[in-house]
Structure 1
Amino acid sequence: MNALEDDLQLSSTHSVEEYSGDDDTTLLLNREDLSENVASTERSKHPRKYLNGVVATSALGSFLWGYNVSVIAGAMLFVDDHFHLSVLWHEIIVSGAIAGAAVGAITAGVLNDKFGRWKVLMMSAVLHGMGSVILGLSFFKLFLVIGRITVGMATGLYSVTGPVYVSEMSPSHIRGKLGLASYLHTGGGILIGSIAVGLFSINSEHAYTIGWRLMFSFTLLPSLCMIAALCFLFETPRWLVYHGKAEKARSVMKKIRSSEYVEKELNEIITDYEDNRKRKLGMIQSIRRIFHSKEVLYAVFLGCSLQVLSAMSGPTAVTSYSSTILRMAGFSVRDAVWFSVVPSFANLLTKIAGALLVERVGRRKLFIASSTGTFIFLYILATSFYLENKSSLSATPLFEGGKCDYDKCGTCVANSNCGFCTVKVGYDYSNGTCSEGSEDHSKFRANGTKCIILEDYEVGYRLVNDSKWYYDHCPESKFAIMSLVALLMYVASFASGLISLPWIINSEIYPMWARGQCASLSSLFNWITNLLINLTFLTVFDLLGTPNALVVYGTIALILTFFVIFLLPETSKQPLEGIERLFVRPYFLTWRSSKPRKPVRTDCESIQL
């Protein structure tokens, strides 16, 4: 027996009652989950309290993640005007956080393996606080980019570490619930971010000067709270065992498990460690071993594919540009800011629903339902923009064959280089002209007017003092409500599972020796994809038109649905040790078996809180 086993002095005298897995009665951290044969006087209250603290602290990271995704959507309406940003600078600032997240994600695996999950979470909280200060004090647009990259790095570190930290601290039968319970606070952050934009923009004059600074700086408070909360938490037992700190691992295990199950689970962890100790020779060797293990390689393929396809279906981009999309649909700036709260509220509610259902219905079914709703409502949203374009006022291009050669207001304003000029006649607006311009006015104007219209194509230009210039939306939008409802349902669909389950699944499908590196790799794929989507979002809308761009994102969500149906096995209630056995072959090949797949149980999976 080696020294580490001697140190643990594992006991085999404890009896363990097999967990029944009754999904109908399993509740998050519910005392009814405790075995009935264990006297209430013997139950420790500490595991429940400590795990609640783990989830709550991780939830602060999720909150910061969601807030920064949401607040940028509304804040950029005012930042654009304050700094007179071009479309390219708009996309660079929005995408700065995604670029930073990619850097954070790729370094998170190495940092997790070397320093541990707890220290990386602390780094994330500190970077969030620093980023909020930089953004709030930005007096040059370059500072905005630096601030966004900083909060992005914090998000990238958390996106890898947070799910792994909660996963390794949790019993398998509620691991999914605790993971989503933490992650659903992303929805809370998105909702609070939308509300903050509305509150800090009530005074429209201040919104363009100090209001957007307060929107960004607000995250300093939860960042400090997360730093303080982490001071009361510890490293995960699995990481401690893998780094030769058995006594510390036992001490932490006693805080997250009832005492009668501590040695049993430590035995599971040490056995897994001993199986991999001789073969784990370093990062390069681990990477080589990944490529020589078809089960792990298949899991990496699934994990990275889920991240890429879910990101390509547009949830992060649509959230970041939600206010802009509502402006395209015909809402005013103030209405777009406040109406963006509605999808954010739906996001939170459906995240809660997903957390309640993830163990009851399983990862697969929830993922399939979520991605199906995502592509359906993206198609409906695309239809609303198509109908809006067709029913919008007719436009005459000032210069045929130019950049703004469009015959409808809807297609004209969909191009960020163009705008629509019209005049109000009575209660209605007249057909107008399409020409190049900025948010403030047309490139072609005279006598102080914002734009010029055509009274008759053969007669020529007519200057009108009360001409109206529409840059990003059309007057008298007929399908704005349809667009809002479709956007709401789209957000509700992806929030229920599509945007969160890839992170949960990636935190649990890899063996311990490869978990940090593989989770980091899949996270990197997600952030790089999100970077490309966010960096080209408005450009793609310009090139393809709003309806066609939305159809492309919807088709990707449809592909994701079939990908999950045919290739993803159910990971719910599976133990982390030995989980790679689920990936011996593609899932659809197991359909030939008449018997349903049973969870691979080990002794420690009977652990109850």
Structure 2
Amino acid sequence: MTLREPAISNKQNTSFVILIASAAALGGFLFGFDTAVINGAVAALSKAFNANSVMTGFAVSCALLGSALGAFVAGSIADRQGRLKTMIIASIFFTLSAIGSGIAFTIWDFILWRALGGVAVGMASVIAPAYIAEVAPAHLRGRLGSLQQLAIVVGIFIALLCNYFIALGAGGSAEAPFWFAISAWRWMFWTEIPPAILYGIFALKIPESPRYLVAQGRRKEAAIVLEKVLGGDIQAKLEDIHRTVLTERKPQFSDLLSRRGGLLPIVWIGMGLSILQQFVGINVIFYYSSVLWRAVGFSERNSLLITVITGVVNIVTTLIAIATVDKFGRKPLLLIGSIGMTVTLGALAVVFGNAPIDPATGNPTLPGTSGIIALLAANLYVVFFGFSWGPIVWVLLGEIFNNRIRAAALSLAAAAQWIANFIVSTTFPPLLQYFGLGSAYGLYTTAAAISIFFVAFFIRETKGKELEEM
């Protein structure tokens, strides 16, 4: 069965939807890969370019500013040019960024290439959940929407795994020469090139979103796609989409404003979800975990291995979310995750806050049971995030906005997410240097506690509802 063959049964309809959703979610894979590949290269970059902690933090997080820009413009590009062309543009940017980051000569051109990759990440973070939400039937939408997060965590895991084996092949250090006497950290970035190209190829093979086609007045093409996705009589569904899609003019960001001025409440809720997802500090684990574990006494090789184990934990918990999101709903999973993150982050704050400082290195040390507690708490934190705020936020961002504002609202929410990510990632190295890990994790614990009340008071359940009901 090729990507464009019509389905002739419900089973084939489901298989077809899973296939095209998985192809779109490859953008999530690159999203995860691109943001995590820096993990194993941070220390080597710092030495190669003689960068201080502030500059190192910016080199890591500059991609996030690009991501905010990419997310902000992705909605308008997707509404003008279509979901698939947006994916192709992102694929080109991913490829160029991977090549350029590996050949960087100074910290400044490295920052430029990483920012370009960030633009691609931002575009992928908007277009994948929007596309999946628009092609998926209601009863599958939660699970298929979770494919985005599954792809992200698999991308993170593969990036960490590549980093580990490349460093291992270079004698245990990212600074050492690898193939062709080129530094290992450069090869870490080049491993992104094959999936980046594959993403563009997949985008050329899958069908356009039926909701975009209706908005462009291409009802016949939309009907063909809906027949492949849903099967049976799709005229009623086509009319529902037509009634809810704004066809008289192009969607604008002004659509997000209420009559009284200011953003619509639902847009604020989407932005709140995005910001809290980052303020709980999850990306500190994935961007800086190798640095973190080296700071408390693990070797570089063992630190990279721990990050690989954390990546596996993240994948397993995301699979749990996929299996349960359409059964238990979005809100219960978010609440459980928020409570679990608050407890585990609090444990990390206490352990690191009371850890003795090694006078030789200035880093905290975790002898005996303290190190075990920190390792368990960090991985349990990933568990609670992995089945809740990781995947569920992306599912909700694809669902909570109505058809008229979805692309624009998703762009704004995703841009807010990347700015929040930038703030967290940029401030972590100075926090680590000047205030210690205990203070940093104390801030993330506070954000996790706030998320409990945010979910309880502002999030409504969307399980089983059609997008046209939002």
Q: Which amino acid aligns with 1:231?
A: L
Q: After the TM superposition, which of the residue ranges 491-500 and 569-578 deviates more from structure 2?
A: 491-500
Q: Within 5 Å, give how 1:309-328 maps onto structure 2.
A: 309-328=276-295
Q: Within 5 Å, give how 1:495-506 maps onto structure 2.
A: 495-506=386-397
- Cα drift, residue 256 of structure 1: 1.3
- Counterpart for residue 217 of structure 1: 190
Runs of 5+ unmatched residues, structure 1 = 1-40, 390-408, 411-419, 422-469, 580-609
Structure 1: how far apart are the matches of 2:173 and 2:385?
Answer: 34
CA deviations on 1:89-116 (whole Å, 9 max, x unpaired) are 2111101111110110111121111111
SS in structure 2 at match of 1:234:
coil
- Counterpart for residue 431 of structure 2: 540
Question: Cα gap change, 1:52/1:150 in structure 2, threshold over 3 Å: closer, same or farther?
Answer: same
Structure 1: how far apart are the matches of 2:452 and 2:289?
Answer: 24
Q: More strand per residue: 1 or 2?
A: 1
Structure 2: how far apart are the matches of 1:126 and 1:281?
Answer: 26
- Cα drift, residue 499 of structure 1: 2.4
Structure 2: how far apart are the matches of 1:480 and 1:236?
Answer: 49
- Counterpart for residue 199 of structure 1: 165
Structure 2: how far apart are the matches of 1:245 and 1:366?
Answer: 38
- Cα drift, residue 143 of structure 1: 2.2
Question: Cα gap change, 1:68/1:301 in structure 2, threshold over 3 Å: closer, same or farther?
Answer: same
Q: Within 5 Å, give how 1:124-203 maps onto structure 2.
A: 124-202=90-168, 203=170
Matched, 1:349 2:316: yes
CA deviations on 1:528-570 (whole Å, 9 max, x unpaired) are 1111111111212334321122011111111101110122110
- Cα drift, residue 481 of structure 1: 2.2
Question: Cα gap change, 1:351/1:475 in structure 2, threshold over 3 Å: closer, same or farther?
Answer: closer
- Counterpart for residue 61 of structure 2: 95
SS in structure 1 at match of 2:460:
coil
Structure 2: how far apart are the matches of 1:286 and 1:387?
Answer: 50
Structure 2: how far apart are the matches of 1:299 and 1:113?
Answer: 20
* Aligned residues of 1:388 and 1:477 also touching (Cα < 8 A): no
Equivalent in 515, 529, 533 of residue 406 of structure 2:
515
Q: Within 5 Å, give how 1:161-560 maps onto structure 2.
A: 161-202=127-168, 203-204=170-171, 207-208=174-175, 209=177, 210-258=183-231, 260-273=232-245, 276-277=246-247, 280=249, 283=252, 286-287=255-256, 290-292=257-259, 297-389=264-356, 409-410=357-358, 420-421=359-360, 470=361, 472=363, 474=365, 479-560=370-451
- Cα drift, residue 149 of structure 1: 0.6
* Aligned residues of 1:507 and 1:519 also touching (Cα < 8 A): yes
Determine which structure has greater relative contact order: mean sequence separation of CA pairs < 8 Å that are 6+ residues apart, divided by chain length: 2
Question: Cα gap change, 1:116/1:87 in structure 2, threshold over 3 Å: closer, same or farther?
Answer: same
Q: Which amino acid aligns with 2:204?
A: C
- Cα drift, residue 55 of structure 1: 2.0
Structure 2: how far apart are the matches of 1:361 and 1:98?
Answer: 33
* Aligned residues of 1:343 and 1:488 also touching (Cα < 8 A): yes
TM-score, normalised via structure 1 length: 0.72
Structure 2: how far apart are the matches of 1:574 and 1:484?
Answer: 40
* Aligned residues of 2:431 and 2:439 also touching (Cα < 8 A): no
- Counterpart for residue 180 of structure 2: none
* Aligned residues of 2:149 and 2:390 also touching (Cα < 8 A): no
Question: Cα gap change, 1:184/1:94 in structure 2, threshold over 3 Å: closer, same or farther?
Answer: same
Matched, 1:48 2:14: yes
Number of aligned residue pairs: give it. Answer: 457
Question: Cα gap change, 1:243/1:167 in structure 2, threshold over 3 Å: closer, same or farther?
Answer: same
- Counterpart for residue 87 of structure 2: 121
Structure 2: how far apart are the matches of 1:370 and 1:324?
Answer: 26
Q: More helix per residue: 1 or 2?
A: 2
Structure 2: how far apart are the matches of 1:296 and 1:269?
Answer: 24
CA deviations on 1:180-216 (whole Å, 9 max, x unpaired) are 0232121111111111111011123773142111111
- Cα drift, residue 358 of structure 1: 0.6
TM-score, normalised via structure 2 length: 0.92
Runs of 5+ unmatched residues, structure 2 = 1-6, 178-182
Structure 1: how far apart are the matches of 2:373 and 2:365?
Answer: 15
* Aligned residues of 1:326 and 1:484 also touching (Cα < 8 A): no
- Cα drift, residue 236 of structure 1: 0.5
